[in-house]
Structure 1
């Protein structure tokens, strides 16, 4: 299999095409994952609202757990291996066959181990095929805190049927606990992602989602914050312009109540379609987590609006009063539009980083505001 030169450790195909924005990796993240995995192995109470699999919801699509697969490949006598490339046995994930491809001496790069995830029998698939997947490849270490991880999101198709990292790891580091009795252990986690969706949905299998959240929580919060702040800035400018704001308030007050009532409602599907188009970016590794969290926000609004009791609602007790409600197939503003616009513009946002355990509250607050601002 031919390789083209690569000058960095960004995700790429074996033919050289690469995308620097599609992957995030780093050994400093390994300890975060280790702590999360250690915690998940201990006995726990039932999962909170944001951490459920949604198996009892009304989403008609396949469940993430049915679209997830994991494979462990143990290469014995690795230090003596002379082959230019090696392939694992095929394994299944999401109904498709995959294999791991490793270049022990690098794929057209020197002093590096190259690793790729590949679609098995891609040349025998029907014309026009594509598989959209989020995946993680890891190399085990005798010290779990030093496991080497890399994550990426990629659409596999005829011309990009393999994807991974040419500079996954420097060969000089392999002896630092990665070889145990001359065995190199490679672990692949593959999550197939549904395509062409028009509303937020559960993307990730629960254990895989928890692992990724442990690493990317701050990235997700930055995405929400940037979205909200851009729109808050416009609202603040409007409110600070006394003439324009007074004119708008007078305009709104002059509208008859029945018209204001109609203007304070919007079809849920219309708003969700816009949100998915904005936030679900195929090149961003965090897009699946953003979809998962928007899905959580939508379910939180539905539960609050319906007044459902029990464990699920108790997880939402710390949330502020919602700015919108769900009424059948409509989003409805919770109170007068003038009051809500002032609240959306002036209510302070969380200013400190949050841990994965607490991110449900921070993200839900953001998502309530996103719904209001999008509707406005």
Structure 2
């Protein structure tokens, strides 16, 4: 670069910033929109490729899978619950390490959508907790009211379940929920592994007529990538728990069993 003269001034703008709630680099919203116009398909393929690779690996050995399921079902509930969770900061750092490639223009865009996917996951978990908490408080107050009928109480108790079921139907049943600073599997680990392998990827929505006034291509693209990013995060958490906790426990139990058989 040529040396500056006395009447020259250069501004250097960095559109990237660190997210408040984690290590994800985030982008200025306008800069994200500009990148999205060019790199939408590339980012989508990055998420898709990751999920396909994990799916192919998770249940490739059917015989071993059957043995692993038997081991898991024979385990007590307490250690199973303990293995079904991981600290958020551990996962987030591993996600950044896996997806962020320095000097690659798509990497900040990938990280930005992973952050949006994480926010979506946290928001949905909080919605569920809020619905249940408010409902319980209303039911408790009405139970103290002698005029409240049993039918009314039953309706109020069932309402949050309907709300949550509706949300699950709209957004697909979650694999992972958030509990304080932990990622927690939303169901039995083996059932979730099968679900992750067998269920279709987030739907490719058919865009409406582009001449319609209410159609916003950028907004729809952002929503779709956020959905892919969220699902990618869930698969990442599931794979991490499976490889670093369940498989290790299974190997240790298998080695112990083999050792005992040799002694006999």
Shorter-chain TM-score tier: 0.5 to 0.7
**Against the structure 1 CA distance between its residues 228 and 320, is the aligned structure 2 distance closer, same or farther, given a 3 Å change threshold?**
same
Aligned counterparts, 1:349-364, within 5 A: 349-350=201-202, 352=204, 356-359=218-221, 360-361=223-224, 362-363=227-228, 364=230
Alpha-carbon distance in 2 for matches of 1:275, 1:266: 13
Within the candidate set 164, 175, 194, 1:342 is matched to: 194
**Against the structure 1 CA distance between its residues 321 and 350, is the aligned structure 2 distance closer, same or farther, given a 3 Å change threshold?**
closer
Is 1:262 the equivalent of 2:82?
A: yes
Within the candidate set 245, 249, 273, 2:93 is matched to: 273
Higher relative contact order, structure no. (Cα contacts within 8 Å, ≥ 6 residues apart): 2
Contact (CA 8 Å) 1:198, 1:276: kept in 2 or not?
Answer: no
Aligned counterparts, 1:160-171, within 5 A: none
| Match in the other structure for 1:294 | 114
Alpha-carbon distance in 1 for matches of 2:120, 2:234: 9
- Cα deviation per residue 1:150-190 (whole Å; 9 max; x = unaligned)? xxxxxxxxxxxxxxxxxxxxxxxxxxxxxxxxxxxxxxxx4
Within the candidate set 166, 172, 179, 1:327 is matched to: 179
Unaligned runs of 5+ in 2: 131-165, 207-216, 243-264
Aligned counterparts, 1:71-86, within 5 A: none
| Match in the other structure for 1:17 | none
**Against the structure 1 CA distance between its residues 307 and 230, is the aligned structure 2 distance closer, same or farther, given a 3 Å change threshold?**
same
Query: How many matched pairs?
Result: 191
TM-score (normalizing by structure 1): 0.45
> Runs in 1 of length 4+ with deviation above 6 angstroms?
314-317
**How far does residue 90 in structure 1 lie from its aligned partner after superposition?**
2.4
Secondary structure of the 1:237 match is: coil
Structure showing the higher strand proportion among its residues: 1
Structure showing the higher helix proportion among its residues: 2
Alpha-carbon distance in 2 for matches of 1:317, 1:345: 19
**How far does residue 368 in structure 1 lie from its aligned partner after superposition?**
2.9
Unaligned runs of 5+ in 1: 3-85, 93-97, 99-189
